[in-house]
Amino acid sequence: MRYLLALCLAVLFAAPAVAQPAPRGVWLFDKAPSYPGVTMMQVAADGEAIRGAVTTAWYGPMRMLNPSWRDNVLSFDLRNLNDRDRPTRRWTARFIRSGVVLKGDFWSSHLVQTGRRGTAAQAEARAFRFAPALPALGTVPPDGLAATPPMGWSSWNRFAERIDDRTIRAMADAMVASGLRDAGYRYVNIDDGWQGRRDAKGVLHPNAKFPDMKALADYVHARGLKLGIYSSPGPKTCAGYEGSYGHVRQDAQTFAGWGVDYLKYDLCSGEWFYDDADTVKRTYYEMGAALKATGRPIIYSLCQYGRFDVARWGRSVGGHLWRTTGDITDDYRTMSDIGFVRNPKFPHAGPGGWNDPDMLEIGNGGMSDDEYRTHMTLWAMQAAPLVMGHDLRLTSAGARALLENREVIAIDQDALGQQGRRVSRDGDREVWRKDLAGGAMAVALFNRGDEAAAMTLRPETVGLRRITALRDLWRGQAVALDAAFTVPPHGAVLLRVEAE
Ligand code: GLA
């Protein structure tokens, strides 16, 4: 008997470990890291095969791809839209006694969260609520707004999420005191970071930093300015705040009720749900129609980074401007890539609808004066919206000279609304032409090289027979018809040309 017991034990300990089957069930994550805000994980099985999904605040349910189970770890991939070169991201869920540790390299950060096993009923309580179906694509009729490119200021480039009521009021005051309002800048735009929570009726409220949006709008309006705000068609904005997903008409009404005059609508997490031309157009149409239905004139700024040739259809969904590229940053390389390469691809700009190469960085300090002059020249030549992005209280004399030059602004704001284009390129030297109402023309000479370059304007380069008058707009003076310009590295000359 004793031998038998010993034998049994020996067999037991020598036997290979029996693989545990993957657990099935539902796990809830109460305090998940905010991105992508995992709230629930579900694991089921089809015979041997494992099936599963995680639910996130940003994207709703995400199906597990290639799930596998080994050594108490469930590994799976999730679809990733943020990096074309990496269409999926690897995640692991390690099952330990106290729950589950979920880790993902999504957005190159790690998520670590211990969950507790929930019941199906609890899981249902956490179910993601899908928005009602998008409307069929329609057309928002033109409304006469934005006959010339919108001009103003936005909080994002300088302040990002560090914004509050006081700062926005201070910007409105500075816009007036600096003379920028009188130079034509009118919109004071609150970008991402103002949003709080929805109440039981779904009404979106600002966060504590913005105690009274209506009073803020009144303050801005009293200074002869207009107020802009920001949202997303997705559940979350790019910075993780509440988006308009599922509340589009309600939010449009809320904004109009506050007295908002401008909405930037940024795709962000909406790209999960609206990821082809059809759904992206329809989601932008949905808000365009909702804004129109409020009866308030509101400039509608589409921000979906130029996808699906937005310039072709931006107007028809109610847009007055549409971003053509990803985000600008305060360096010459990014600015010039946007200005010289990306924005000019689209020929659809004109009164009522404009290509938007993103906000200005002038005054933020990352470029030289010559580079900032090129920035302003390129934006003016391309009839781009002029939305400043610096702290208006700290506008240096140099920044002011660039931002308040009336003759340069007049090129941007010209009534013909033509987006200028390159007409010649010789190494690093480029000549651009923009026709103006009344028959004159703006011509820009750009030197994209690292050494100063000598440039002259020959009439035939810009398709003219004979030039009769030439005015250097940055210097504010007439120049000789055969003037030779020394254009500094990364610099620009902007001319107003009269011709026969
Ligand atoms: C995106 C936009 C930016 C800015 C941020 C805010 O990146 O392109 O212009 O609005 O979101 O989070």
Q: Using one digit for the tens of pLDDT, what is the confidence trace for 61-86?
A: 999 999 999 999 999 999 988 777 88
Query: Is 60 exceeded by the pLDDT of residue 397?
Result: yes
Residue whose Cα lies nearest atom 9 of ligand 1: it is 327
Distance 161 CA to ligand 1 centre (A): 10
Q: pLDDT of 95-119, one tens digit each? A: 988 788 899 876 666 788 887 777 6
Query: Is 60 exceeded by the pLDDT of residue 4?
Result: no
Q: pLDDT of 139-150, one tens digit each? A: 999 999 999 999
More confident residue, 22 or 139: 139
Share of the chain above pLDDT 90, in %: 82
Contact in structure between 353 and 289 (CB atoms under 8 Å): no
Provide the pLDDT for residue 337.
98
User: What number is the average pLDDT over the span 370-399?
Assistant: 98
Burial class (CB in 10 A: 0-12, 13-18, 19+), 14: exposed
More confident residue, 11 or 420: 420
Provide the pLDDT for residue 10.
47
Provide the pLDDT for residue 15.
47
Distance 209 CA to ligand 1 centre (A): 19
Ligand 1 pocket test, candidate residues 161, 303, 324, most atoms within 8 A of CB: 303
Q: Active-site residue numbers?
A: 266, 327
Query: Is 90 exceeded by the pLDDT of residue 389?
Result: yes
Question: What predicted TM-score, i.e. pTM, was given to this entire model?
Answer: 0.94
Q: pLDDT of 456-472, one tens digit each? A: 999 999 999 999 999 99
Phi, psi of 4 (to 5 degrees): -65, -45
Least confident among 91-95, 121-125, 413-417: 121-125
Distance 304 CA to ligand 1 centre (A): 10
Least confident among 46-50, 237-241, 314-318: 46-50
Q: Which domains does the chain have, with CATH numbers?
A: 25-126 (2.40.128.20), 151-412 (3.20.20.70), 421-499 (2.60.40.1180)
Residue whose Cα lies nearest atom 6 of ligand 1: it is 192
pLDDT band at 247 (very low <50, low <70, confident <90, very high): very high
Please give the number of the atom of ligand 1 that sits closest to the Cα of 305: 8
> What string of H, E and C letters represents the secondary structure of the chain?
CHHHHHHHHHHHHHCCCCCCCCCCEEEECCCCCCCCCEEEEEEEEECCEEEEEEEECCCEEEECEEEEEECCEEEEEEECCCCCCCCEEEEEEEEECCEEEEEECHHHCCCCCECEEECHHHHHHCCCCCCCCCCCCCCCCCCCCCCCCCEEEECHHHHCCCCCHHHHHHHHHHHHHCCHHHHCCCEEECCCCCEEEECCCCCEEECCCCCCHHHHHHHHHHCCCEEEEEECCCCECCCCCECCCCCHHHHHHHHHHHCCCEEEEECHHHHHCCCCHHHHHHHHHHHHHHHHHHCCCCEEEEECCCHHHHHHHCHHHCCCEEECCCCCCCCHHHHHHHHHHHHHHCCCCECCEEEECCCCCCCCCCCCHHHHHHHHHHHHHCCCCEEECCCHHHCCHHHHHHHCCHHHHHHHCCCCCCCCEEEEEECCEEEEEEECCCCCEEEEEEECCCCCEEEECCHHHHCCCCEEEEEECCCCEEECCCCEEEECCCCEEEEEEEEC
Residue whose Cα lies nearest atom 5 of ligand 1: it is 238
| Average pLDDT, rounded, for the chain | 93
Please give the number of the atom of ligand 1 that sits closest to the Cα of 239: 12
Provide the pLDDT for residue 116.
74
Ligand 1 pocket test, candidate residues 190, 191, 388, most atoms within 8 A of CB: 191
Q: pLDDT of 428-443, one tens digit each? A: 999 999 999 999 999 9
Q: What span, in angstroms and rounded, lies between the C-alpha atoms of 411 and 80? A: 42
Measured N-to-C along each axis, helices 277-294 and 248-258 cross at an angle, to the nearest 10 degrees, of 40
Q: Diameter of the chain by CA atoms?
A: 118
More confident residue, 242 or 36: 242
Distance 190 CA to ligand 1 centre (A): 11
pLDDT band at 11 (very low <50, low <70, confident <90, very high): very low
Q: pLDDT of 84-97, one tens digit each? A: 788 899 999 999 88
More confident residue, 492 or 20: 492
Distance 227 CA to ligand 1 centre (A): 18
Query: Is 90 exceeded by the pLDDT of residue 416?
Result: yes
Distance 71 CA to ligand 1 centre (A): 42
Q: pLDDT of 282-327, one tens digit each? A: 999 999 999 999 999 999 999 999 999 999 999 999 999 999 999 9
Q: pLDDT of 331-355, one tens digit each? A: 999 999 999 999 988 789 999 999 9
Query: Is 60 exceeded by the pLDDT of residue 482?
Result: yes
Q: What span, in angstroms and rounded, lies between the C-alpha atoms of 126 and 39? A: 7
User: What number is the average pLDDT over the span 160-179?
Assistant: 98
Residue whose Cα lies nearest atom 11 of ligand 1: it is 238
Residue whose Cα lies nearest atom 8 of ligand 1: it is 327
Q: Give the binding-site residues of ligand 1, using a 6 Å CB cut-off.
A: 156, 191-192, 237-239, 266, 303, 327
Residue whose Cα lies nearest atom 3 of ligand 1: it is 327
Distance 405 CA to ligand 1 centre (A): 28
pLDDT band at 59 (very low <50, low <70, confident <90, very high): very high
Say which residues have a Cβ less than 8 Å from residue 136's Cβ, sequence separation at least 6: 282
Distance 238 CA to ligand 1 centre (A): 6
Provide the pLDDT for residue 305.
95
Query: Is 90 exceeded by the pLDDT of residue 490?
Result: yes
pLDDT band at 18 (very low <50, low <70, confident <90, very high): low
Residue whose Cα lies nearest atom 1 of ligand 1: it is 238
Please give the number of the atom of ligand 1 that sits closest to the Cα of 264: 10
Query: Is 70 exceeded by the pLDDT of residue 9?
Result: no
